[in-house]
Structure 1
């Protein structure tokens, strides 16, 4: 890593995410609508950049799902925008997939304070990354995803390097090619949407790219773990009125059963959507549904067809 200002400046000049766009040098002179159109046009490059990395993303997801199926955790870590995006993705897993809050964890350099304001120097500390992972009791069953637009952030790098030494699965997500982060990880994912509208403002296209990839990692991993039935969130946790209504709608979409039968099944299953669906489709009681789901490791399709292949 660079040790002087001049070395750092020289390194940043080589990064796509830091590149200067001469054609946008007078963007502040455009109308608001013209700037909005320009930004919208810039964003079109993001899905294409993600698409180029789909094989690497899929391989990382399959490896993550295998670890989590054996009791491992998924840990995101990054600084600034990258870290906040990881925390956001992790925090949405419990209500969406009924995961325990400890199963998917987001670590941001500087801790919770850094979610709402910058914590100076935190991203430059490899030691802080090691301390954060040590506090989690990281094991070789876990997966650590280092997220850094530049691919050189010491906090993300230090975390990935430490995790790999412990035998954990490591994924490095960056927005530059030939990044140190991708090289340090077992699975390197380099999504490069190009230079930003505002020079070096990686909360823009790079942030959008990172959000898309993190969505894929968590969502598809949960699909592989049986947290869905088709495209229905059958492990959704009904923690508010909207989700209670969604639970009933999911059972209705999966079974086509009348409201009275849905209400009875959900009541017998203590509100568990997956159990209620299995009860209705297999015409079994709640204890039998619970046993089948335990035997199938929570995969509803397998529980519907015990001893057979999943359709």
Structure 2
């Protein structure tokens, strides 16, 4: 068991004397390692799918989404977390990123913090994590004390626990409802899990959050219909989305977007000539799912 747990730390003999290799040979090995990291995700697709379904169910009933990790894994967890609001409009007060060492750890190494089990539990208690909530825990080894203590506490509070790790027998799986194992193997640079393990984590988290937000109605025909519009570029993109869905002209799309206070879904329904009050009700009645709202209004009118 210990052999598997330390899989990401193994020193592969194939990379012996790599520091003496020609530059292009070394890069070929790094490239091949990255390809393997991406390809290993395929075997985890069923678990990623089940995880997204479970997360969406919990969040659709008012839950919050916690992300937690330490070191490189923590950085990747935080990155996925902070991109959900601008991309899918998920409320900031329902997104809680936690990393060992806090904000300081985003710019400087805070190695000691990842060994302190009390810090993560204290943070989760401060946020009053509950059975409504979801926590996504990311750890290459799956045994980081900070992260392991967090999943134990979250599970004890009834929270939905999703554990993402790169070792088959990761301890954080023991406390998870869903375990996403990413078999990225040993690193070219032994123990540097920001490389292959990190690449697999980044891609898997992208897939997990994208499917979750799609299930929650924030994607329509591959378009970001819930994105936050806060500059001219995004306003133009929002108008283009409205045009693509409705077939309206640019002037109408922009007019409807302004009337909808930059809410793309509402603007789409306005561009389809539905009264604003009816459009707002249709979206509210269908938990913000544009396609369902369109179907309801199609039947009504």
User: What is the TM-score normalised by the length of structure 1?
Assistant: 0.92
Distance 2:191 2:180 in 1: 20
Of residues 101, 107, 114, the one that matches 1:110 is 101
Residues 122 and 11 of structure 1: CA distance in aligned 2, closer, same or farther (over 3 Å) = farther
Distance 1:13 1:40 in 2: 24
- Do residues 288 (structure 1) and 278 (structure 2) align? yes
Of residues 153, 167, 178, the one that matches 1:176 is 167
Superposed CA RMSD:
1.7
Distance 2:162 2:298 in 1: 34
Residues 66 and 86 of structure 1: CA distance in aligned 2, closer, same or farther (over 3 Å) = same
Residues 14 and 251 of structure 1: CA distance in aligned 2, closer, same or farther (over 3 Å) = closer
1:14-25 paired onto structure 2 within 5 Å? 15-25=6-16
Aligned to 1:303: 293
Deviation at 1:291, TM superposition (A): 1.5
Of residues 179, 184, 191, the one that matches 1:193 is 184
Distance 2:233 2:255 in 1: 19
Distance 1:62 1:40 in 2: 33
2:179 match: secondary structure: strand
Aligned to 1:214: 205
1:199-238 paired onto structure 2 within 5 Å? 199-238=190-229
Of 144-153 and 23-32, the range deviating more from structure 2:
23-32
Higher relative contact order (CA 8 A, sep 6+): 2
Distance 2:49 2:180 in 1: 10
Native 8 Å contact 1:77 1:146 kept in 2: yes
Aligned to 1:261: 252
1:142-157 paired onto structure 2 within 5 Å? 142-157=133-148
Structure 1 residue ranges (4+ consecutive) displaced by more than 4 angstroms after TM superposition: 10-14
Deviation at 1:307, TM superposition (A): 8.3
Distance 2:159 2:297 in 1: 33
Aligned to 1:131: 122
Distance 2:240 2:298 in 1: 28
Map Cα deviations across residues 211-240 of structure 1 (whole Å, 9 max, x no partner): 111112211111000011120000111112
User: What is the TM-score normalised by the length of structure 2?
Assistant: 0.95
Map Cα deviations across residues 118-152 of structure 1 (whole Å, 9 max, x no partner): 11311111111101111112110001111100010
Of 12-21 and 24-33, the range deviating more from structure 2:
12-21
Distance 2:103 2:3 in 1: 28
1:77 match: secondary structure: strand
Distance 1:14 1:224 in 2: 33
Deviation at 1:308, TM superposition (A): 8.9
Of residues 30, 39, 43, the one that matches 1:48 is 39
Distance 1:165 1:275 in 2: 40
2:162 match: secondary structure: strand
In proportion to residue count, which structure has more helix? 2
Deviation at 1:289, TM superposition (A): 1.3
